[in-house]
Amino acid sequence: MAAGATIIEKIGKDITMGGFDINERKNMVTIPSWLQEGKFKDVEELLKTKPELFTKASSNGKNPQIEGEEFLPSQVFLEQHPYFVSVGNGKYKIAMGENPLILGGDHEYLFNTDNQLFIIDLNKIKAEITTELQ
């Protein structure tokens, strides 16, 4: 069982909540205790297809920017899914390009309009995620 995970025992297959999951880029990512293991790819798809949720989950309620210009959620997911790097329970900094966990990789972290690292906080859209993924 993954660190921080909770197992819900029931008739049939047990459900694991929280711990670790695999994202679209085939990397391990920590997930909050309220998210079912195996659903992070669905969350990524939800952020891709519903840009208003991407913006709502951001650290300051605005889209990221590059060189002072707004960077839309559709641009974040345009060529491939970004890397979600956990910085807290359900909070992720977003990296484009190469894997930020590989030494010497060419990755680019997104920044917000306050010139801070752009953070996605899934806890801000927990209700929408749990409703959509039922």
Q: How confident is the model at residue 121 (pLDDT cuts 50, 70, 90)?
A: very high
Which of 5-14, 62-71, 124-133 is predicted least confidently? 5-14
Query: Mean per-residue pLDDT for 111-117?
Result: 91
The answer to whether 92 touches 85, Cβ cutoff 8 Å, is: yes
Residue 54: CB atoms within 10 Å: 22
Q: How confident is the model at residue 1 (pLDDT cuts 50, 70, 90)?
A: very low
What predicted TM-score, i.e. pTM, was given to this entire model?
0.85
Residues 11-34: tens digit of each pLDDT: 657 788 999 999 888 889 999 999
- DSSP-assigned states of every residue in 40-73: HHHHHHHHHH-HHHHHHTBTTSS--EETTEE--H
Domain-wise residue ranges, the chain: 40-132
pLDDT above 70 covers a percentage of the chain that reads 89
* pLDDT > 70? residue 6: no
Phi-psi region of 26 (alpha: psi -120 to 50; beta: other; left: phi over 0): left
